[in-house]
Amino acid sequence: MKRCLYRAEGLRGKELASFFRSQEVSSSLAEAMEHLNVVNLSLFACSHQLFLYYECLEEAVPPESLLPEASERLAVWPGGEQGRRWAPLADIFHYQQPVSAQHWERSNAAGEPYGRLALLKPEEAASYVYYHYQYQEERPGDGDKYGIIGLHENVLFFYAEQPATREPAPYEGRLKTTLTPDNWAEIMEPHFIKWEGTPAGQDIWRKLDLVLEVRSFTGKLGIRDA
C-alpha cells in the first residue's frame, strides 16, 4: 500500500469547492478510484490551496488519473514533469505505517478525516525532520494510527482522522534510543512561522476545510458529503 500526499494551487477566478463537490466530479472520481484500486481519499482547501490525501492498494496512482477534470482549474506547478498541477509532499512523519491490508482497514465507519496546515521556518527544516524521524522510530504507534505529516518546500500538511485510532504498532521502530523530548510542544514551537488572524489555538497548525471525501469500508467505496 502506498500513501499519497499532494498539494495544488487553484487559478484565481475559478471556483473550487462546488466544482469538486459536484455530482459529476464525485461520481467520476469514485469510478476511477475503484478501477485504479485507490481508497480513502480526502481533499482539503485553504483559500486557493488544495491538499490531497489518498491510499493506493497496489501501484502509486497520480492525481491526474483520479481528477482529470481539475486540470483546467489548477495552476501549473514548476519543477517535475512539464505541465504538472499537483506537487507531491514527502512523508516526513507517521505514527504508523501499513504492514498489510488487514492492518490498515478502518473499523469505524463514523470516523472523519481532518487536515491541518503549518509553515516551517526554512532554517529549521532539518531540525524538524530530525526530531520527527527520531519520534517516529522511537515511539511507533504513539498517536492516531492514520496520522501523517507531509512536507513540500516549507509547507507542512498534517492528515489524521477523528476520533483517533490508538493501538500498538505491529512492528518495532528502527531506533532503540530514548531521546525524544517529553516537552515536545515547547521544543517544536520555535520551528514555525505563526499564522496571523486565525482562530484561537490555530496560530501554528491552521485547520483546513474538508472539500471532498471518498472512503472505503469492507471493500466498498462511498462518497460522504464534506
**Residue 95: CATH number of its domain:** 3.30.70
For 118, half-sphere exposure in the C-beta direction (CA atoms, 13 angstrom radius) is 24
| The total number of structural domains that make up the chain | 1
Contact of 38 with 59, CB cutoff 8 Å: no
In angstroms, rounded to a whole number, what is the distance separating the alpha carbons of residues 80 and 78? 7
The amino acid present at 63, given as its one-letter code, is P
**Does residue 54 sit in helix, strand or coil?**
strand
Percent of the chain predicted with pLDDT > 90 = 83
Which set of grid coordinates corresponds to residue 205? 497548525
- Per-residue model confidence (pLDDT) at position 220: 46
The amino acid present at 187, given as its one-letter code, is I
Mean pLDDT of 169-186: 97
Q: Is the peptide bond before 163 cis (omega within 30 degrees of 0)?
A: yes
Q: Which domain holds residue 10?
A: 2-224
pLDDT in tens, 29-88: 999 999 999 999 999 999 999 999 999 999 999 999 999 999 999 999 988 788 899 999
| pLDDT band with cut points at 50, 70 and 90 for residue 135 | very high
What is this structure's pTM? 0.94
Task: Identify the H or E element spanning 198.
Answer: none
- Per-residue model confidence (pLDDT) at position 78: 87
In angstroms, rounded to a whole number, what is the distance separating the alpha carbons of residues 9 and 74? 6
Query: Measured on CA atoms in the order 44, 50, 53, 59, is the torsion positive or negative?
Result: positive
Task: Identify the H or E element spanning 129.
Answer: helix 125-138
